[in-house]
Amino acid sequence: MKTENYIPQKAKIIKKEYLCDDVISLRLKVLGRKSFSFLPGQFVMLSVLGFGEVPIGITSAPKEKRYFEVAVRSVGMVTKKIFTLKEGDYIGVGGPFGNGFPLSEIKGKDLVLVAGGIGLAPLRSLIKHIAENRRLVKSLTIFNGARCPEQLLFRDEYSDWRDFSEVSLSVESCDSSWKDCVGNISEIFGRTKIKRGSIMIVCGPPPMFDPVINHYAGKSVSESDLYFLLERKMKCGVGKCQHCTCGELYVCLDGPVFAYDKIKYNQEAFK
Ligand SMILES: Cc1cc2nc3c(=O)[nH]c(=O)nc-3n(C[C@H](O)[C@H](O)[C@H](O)COP(=O)(O)OP(=O)(O)OC[C@H]3O[C@@H](n4cnc5c(N)ncnc54)[C@H](O)[C@@H]3O)c2cc1C
Ligand code: FES
């Protein structure tokens, strides 16, 4: 990894958008760096002086190197501060860090992405990458769930995504105008058949993991083809502080993306 990735660099917020009431999208340009290269599924450490730093996945396409985008949900001290920043303000950026999604394993395969809430954020980078490289996978299926229709992120992009993928949506509460699945995301699992031998990547809150494992692991998706993006508190992002450890694994260095067969006996991984 380049030294410049370790040291937080100043980045300018060149665009800010509200994706829903508690999630913003920021477009960031790192100062003094002509290009910012990353892989889908990698994350950055965003820092605000006096508040701290947080790991946040990259949502934009890797082909665009002049800037990158992130989506931040306001949950606690640092993310609430980031929420208040405006276009033209500056923020610290470290990274990119982590292994990213398994791009070589998905080549030519049927790929299924399962997203819950803010979990769609890092997957959007992969979806955009596939949009630009349509022969990368044989087929793409996206299962996306949220609490209510207004909380579904990147809603205005779904019609474009449907040009090259099948998109199934579910929400837990809605009014009668909602025509897709109602309930948690496992409602979709019962209704939509996926091809045996598919690769599946899951990003979302841990309560979503058990239904995925029960429905697919070792059945239509082999345990080594089922991937989870694990979220852990992080401080350094580079294997020094141990804040992110899950048993023997460092989420910042070994992950954040792990195949199920590598973590299935790891008590910490699914908390
Ligand atoms: C690899 C990785 C990628 C991530 N990508 C994104 C992303 O793209 N967008 C995004 O918004 N967040 C993402 N996160 C989560 C984000 O890092 C946390 O929400 C953030 O660190 C919270 O910091 P805070 O100081 O705002 O909240 P804190 O003050 O640390 O926590 C405030 C409250 O929020 C809860 N909380 C903290 N972290 C989480 C969490 N991950 N999920 C749910 N509740 C939490 C705490 O338990 C506490 O109750 C990612 C995390 C990892 C490890
Ligand atoms: S975040 Fe410090 S060791 Fe992983």
Atom of ligand 2 nearest to the CA of 242: 3
Q: Which residues of 196-219 are buried (b: 16+ CB within 10 A; e: fewer)?
A: eebbbbbbbeeebbeebbebbbee
Q: What is the pLDDT of residues 48-79, one digit of tens each?
A: 999 999 999 999 999 999 999 999 999 999 99
| Same domain (yes/no): 90, 113 | no
Cα angle, residue 17 at apex, residues 47 and 170 outer, rounded to 5° = 100
Asked if 185 and 115 sit in the same domain, the reply is yes
DSSP 3-50: HHHHS-EEEEEEEEEEEETTEEEEEEEETT-S-----TT-EEEEEETT
Is the pTM higher than 0.85? The answer reads yes
Q: Is 122 in the pocket of ligand 1 (CB under 6 A)?
A: yes
Q: Over range 103-112, report the average pLDDT.
A: 96
* Residue whose tokens read 């947080």: 54
pLDDT computed for residue 181 by the predictor: 86
Read off the pLDDT band of 232 (50, 70, 90): confident
CATH number, domain with residue 181: 3.40.50.80
Pocket test for ligand 2, best of 231, 233, 244, 258 (most atoms within 8 A of CB): 244
Q: How confident is the model at residue 248 (pLDDT cuts 50, 70, 90)?
A: confident
Domain co-membership, 115 together with 45: no
Say how many CA atoms lie within 13 Å of 224 toward its Cβ. 1
Rounded to the nearest integer, the mean pLDDT of the chain is 93
- Look at residue 3 and tell me whether its pLDDT is greater than 70: no
- C-alpha 201/C-alpha 223 separation (Å) is 11
Tally of domains in the chain:
2
Helix (H) or strand (E) holding 123: helix 120-132
Q: Tens digits of per-residue pLDDT, 193-225?
A: 899 999 999 999 999 999 999 999 999 999 999
pLDDT tier, 2 (very low <50, low <70, confident <90, very high otherwise): low
* 195 plus 149 within the same structural domain: yes
* Pocket of ligand 2 contains residue 43 by CB under 6 Å: no
Task: Report yes or no: 71 and 153 within 8 Å, Cβ to Cβ.
Answer: yes
Residue 78 Cα to ligand 1 midpoint, Å, equals 9
Q: Over the stretch 151-195, which tens digit does the pLDDT of each residue have?
A: 999 999 999 999 999 999 999 998 888 888 888 888 898 888 899
CATH number, domain containing residue 66: 2.40.30.10
